[in-house]
Amino acid sequence: MLGGPGDAAPLRVVVYSDDRLVREQVRLALGTRVARDLPPVRVVEVATPRALLQTMDAGGVALAILDGEASPAGGLGMARQLKDEITRCPPVLVLVARQQDAWLATWSRAEAALPYPLDPVRLPVVAAELLRAHPADAHA
């Protein structure tokens, strides 16, 4: 099928965590396509706040997934900083230690929050919802 979602440029998804295993779990759960109606995704892994800020400042990011437990700067604080500093910031999904911590996502201005342990079925569903609700071309 020409002109379908598979022909589009991949959507860049940034995954921020200082924990290599968390980044790997997210990357594996997302796979190469989060939904049939969306273009493929290309995961960009970053482990430091500086790398996250540089990647986001460069633009072209469709979605940011941030580890709320990352150190030295947690994903919730980084989400708030991104929302404060980046005009037309792409949607942010934060990963939180407990579902009870999801209220912090409201403070951080993240569009969504998911608790640990990561649910490999739920993560791509939420990612797809955010990508559909916030077209990537708005963040270029």
Domain boundaries, the chain: 5-132
Which architecture, in CATH terms, is 5-132? Answer: 3-Layer(aba) Sandwich (3.40)
| pLDDT tens per residue across span 10-40 | 999 999 999 999 999 999 999 999 999 999 9
Residue 136 in tokens: 């990537």
Q: What percent of the chain has pLDDT over 70?
A: 91
Q: Span 100-112, mean pLDDT?
A: 86
Is pLDDT at 4 greater than 60 in this prediction?
Answer: no
Q: What distance in Å separates the CA atoms of residue 79 and residue 88, rounded to the nearest whole number?
A: 13
For 87, other C-beta atoms within 10 Å of its C-beta total: 5
Do residues 3 and 100 lie in contact, with contact meaning Cβ atoms separated by under 8 Å? no
Is pLDDT at 98 greater than 90 in this prediction?
Answer: no
